[in-house]
Amino acid sequence: MKYIVLGLGHFGRSLGVHLTELGHEVIGADRKLSIVEQLKDKITHTVCLDTTDREAVSSLPLKDAHAVIVAIGEDEGASLMTVALLKQLKVKRIIGAYCFRASKNCSGGNGNQRVYYARRRSRRATSHAIG
């Protein structure tokens, strides 16, 4: 299966590497080039981009992904904006690794869309739950 992990901090990095080790195709994205460079040999594909930029996110193969995981933990605003953007782009399966109070405003799915929150799960538990 193909997964897209947006945000390669502690959780996103660990999840992306674990999914790759399980044999899945993973595209990992982060706004920090240094993180992207560190993980280029551990995750199937890595890319440096701003996940709140519609044009940048639209360049990803969103329709081909089994799920898009939003693992942005240090910037609540970016996390919420990214989930909202993915909903606008009609991504069918969005998994938010971090849940904030305000996220209830963008957590409902439209039509076929599903938004899941992985609240405090380990990377291993999350990787098995999304598979």
Query: 80-117 pLDDT, tens per residue?
Result: 999 999 999 999 999 887 655 444 445 455 555 555 55
Bridge partners of 45, per DSSP, are 27
Specify the pTM.
0.82
CATH number at residue 56: 3.40.50.720
Model pLDDT, residue 101: 44
Domain hosting 18: range is: 2-130
Q: How many domains, the chain?
A: 1
- From residue 46, how far is each of 17, 36, 38, 117, 118 by CA, in Å? 11, 6, 10, 23, 22
Neighbours of 59 (CB within 10 A): 11
